[in-house]
Structure 1
Amino acid sequence: MTGPLPPAPQGPFLAAAPVVRTHRLALGLQVVDALRGEPADVAVAVEEVPPSHAMPRPAVREAAAALYNPGMGLPRLTRGRHPGRFRLLFGDRVAPPVRVRVYDTARRFVPRRLEVPFASLAAVLAEEASGARPAARARRIAVFPGTAYSPQGNATGVRGRVVGPTGGPVRWVRVTAWHSALGTVLGHAHGDDRGEFLLVLGVPPTSHASPSGSAFTVRLTLAARSTPPPAGSAVTRHDPFADLPLEVLPPVGTPDDVSDGMTVPDAHAARSTVVVPLLLGRLVSPPSPFILP
């Protein structure tokens, strides 16, 4: 009679038991094109550098002026399986809230800096233990067209540049287009580090606004920060994008007027209004820049 098999030999090259590792999602980000609502081909960098990650080397002063690199070599969030989606896992040594930088080095989209809250690991474990339905951990963020963006062929809008009284660029300006007659909002734009913006009307003007059928006017509200950023706000001393305004998102489940990028931040207190003639189906480029006093 055959007896039970002897136990498998244990040696230095044989594992005694499999190791199970659980990954828990801390935060999911979906970045979309503000005009089309489609996934945006961008990158997302974490500004709080984890201890195990070396700080980016300071940029060479001569190269910093010519190099458009909002990421600054900072660690990036992991991309998801679908375009425009990113994830942060517990165990990545990043505590809530996390500051991220959404950017595109090809200038198709204007970068944004966001402070995003998320639940702590202790709160998630307590939620799992209670058997409650998991709370949402994903956020949807919109980015706006940059100077290299390719709008549809029949798009109506304006390409412009905003400068200050001395002629220097007004960085990170916000632009809102208003219906000249009805006072309704027709579109939004974010300006880049050179003061340039591309505003495409999201709502076509009515015949009341363009009685000739093609020519009409819109009011543009230009808004920018009236004071420079505080000293020490740079991620690194030589970060040319350290003055990109930081926008703080509210907690999940509360009213959110930040993620879509349409609300002008309160810090953008310097404002001016100009009237611009447009043509239906055309992107116009005024010959002179707009001046923000």
Structure 2
Amino acid sequence: MNVYTPDRYDESVVHLALGVELRDAISGRRLGAGADVRMERFPRPVGKWRPWRLGETLTAVLPRMHRHHTGRFVSRYDEGLPTTVDLRVVDDDNVGATRIAGLGRRIVPRRVRITIADEADVLAAEADPTKPPHPLFRRSVPLWCMPGSAADLPSRATVMRGRIVRLDAGSGALVPVRWARVRAQNATGDDVGWAHGDDRGEFALVVEQSANDIVVPADPVPISLTIGATLPAPTPDPADPLRASVDPLWDLPLETVVTSPTPEVEASLTGRRFLPGQAQLSPLNPPQPVDLPHGRETSVVIRIA
């Protein structure tokens, strides 16, 4: 029996289970074709799942979300999607005509967990005209992505490009802090920017105007940094030893995001918060605050331990 059209017509109805829109954290615009969303559905341990070719990564073999011509990513209920979905957001790299999954650096990867509505609840709301429709925001999720080390940043922006390091007790060398997060605050304690660090400890922080600024800030502008880092650094799971070799994101923490009718102020969606389990640290070097000249890029190495 048809639902929307007379029975003399063939009817096929599908329902959106999850829609994801990737946005640039600086401009707020939708990200271009290089960004990709993969579903984290794979057996563990990965070494017993399949043979791995040299250079092959887990991201490359994970199932993709379908990319709509609008640039959004979609999955339908008839695809057997569970109500709790783990995703990874990555940037694909292009080498000539070859697209390499997840190895680009225009955005910093994210791993997120999203709980979506059960299909029965959606259908029940549609079937009863006396009830309001099921809220679309519970199945349509925008995710903001912070710029990576290879991002094209706005001209004349005030930018700090940096690398976060720590002292390795075993070797005595300075090693990168993977997947750090950086919060910048002005002299009055207002947030003026966030950044995500990548697997090499590199980040790109664009300084924004504070919500309380009514005049142009001083030049140079002093900012204080707070670094979110997972210490001690994670070690590979002995039950899945190959994971760290084939998965570049093996130690990137999984964030649980909250769907919201006002997503632009929900920190789990915008990424303007520290990751689960991260300690909040002040840099040992350079001394705080750091003076940044307006309209220029400043490079710095930040040591936290």
Task: Mark yes or no: TM-score above 0.5.
Answer: yes
SS state at 1:116 partner: strand
Cα deviation digits, residues 170-221 of structure 1 (max 9, x gap): 0000001110x211111000000100000001217776852xxx32321111
For 2:250, the equivalent position in structure 1 comes to 242
- Structure 1 length-normalised TM: 0.80
Aligned amino acid, residue 94 of structure 1 = L
Q: Quick one: distance in 1 between partners of 2:124 and 2:25? A: 36
For 2:164, the equivalent position in structure 1 comes to 162
Query: Of 62, 70, 75, which residue of structure 2 is paired with 1:88?
Result: 75
What is the Cα deviation at residue 165 of structure 1? 1.1
Question: Judging changes above 3 Å, is the alpha-carbon distance between structure 1 residues 128 and 37 closer, same or farther for their aligned structure 2 residues?
Answer: same
Aligned amino acid, residue 114 of structure 2 = V
Does residue 119 (structure 1) correspond to residue 117 (structure 2)? The answer is yes
138-147 vs 235-244, which deviates more?
235-244
- Between the two proteins, what is the percent identity of the paired residues? 33
Does residue 224 (structure 1) correspond to residue 224 (structure 2)? The answer is no
Question: Judging changes above 3 Å, is the alpha-carbon distance between structure 1 residues 270 and 20 closer, same or farther for their aligned structure 2 residues?
Answer: same
Question: Judging changes above 3 Å, is the alpha-carbon distance between structure 1 residues 193 and 276 closer, same or farther for their aligned structure 2 residues?
Answer: same
What is the Cα deviation at residue 144 of structure 1? 0.3
For 1:11, the equivalent position in structure 2 comes to none
What is the Cα deviation at residue 257 of structure 1? 2.6
**Cα pair 1:110 1:143 within 8 Å, conserved:** yes
250-259 vs 167-176, which deviates more?
250-259
Cα deviation digits, residues 10-37 of structure 1 (max 9, x gap): xxxxxxx975332110011111000000
For 2:126, the equivalent position in structure 1 comes to 128
Q: Quick one: distance in 1 between partners of 2:277 and 2:123? A: 38
Q: Quick one: distance in 1 between partners of 2:142 and 2:241? A: 26
Query: Of 253, 274, 279, which residue of structure 2 is paired with 1:269?
Result: 279
95-104 vs 20-29, which deviates more?
20-29
Q: Quick one: distance in 1 between partners of 2:216 and 2:122? A: 54
Q: Quick one: distance in 1 between partners of 2:180 and 2:199? A: 9
Aligned amino acid, residue 282 of structure 1 = R
For 1:292, the equivalent position in structure 2 comes to 304
What is the Cα deviation at residue 118 of structure 1? 0.4
Does residue 279 (structure 1) correspond to residue 281 (structure 2)? The answer is no
Question: Which structure is higher in helix share?
Answer: 2
Does residue 174 (structure 1) correspond to residue 161 (structure 2)? The answer is no
19-28 vs 141-150, which deviates more?
19-28
What is the Cα deviation at residue 256 of structure 1? 3.7
Question: Judging changes above 3 Å, is the alpha-carbon distance between structure 1 residues 57 and 78 closer, same or farther for their aligned structure 2 residues?
Answer: farther
- Structure 2 length-normalised TM: 0.77
Q: Quick one: distance in 1 between partners of 2:23 and 2:110? A: 12
For 1:141, the equivalent position in structure 2 comes to 143
Query: Of 239, 245, 260, which residue of structure 1 is paired with 2:270?
Result: 260
Aligned amino acid, residue 196 of structure 1 = E
Aligned residues: 260
Question: Judging changes above 3 Å, is the alpha-carbon distance between structure 1 residues 40 and 87 closer, same or farther for their aligned structure 2 residues?
Answer: same
For 1:8, the equivalent position in structure 2 comes to none
169-178 vs 225-234, which deviates more?
225-234
Q: Quick one: distance in 1 between partners of 2:108 and 2:223? A: 23
Cα deviation digits, residues 225-252 of structure 1 (max 9, x gap): 1242683689946312111110001255
Q: Quick one: distance in 2 between partners of 1:284 and 1:178? A: 16
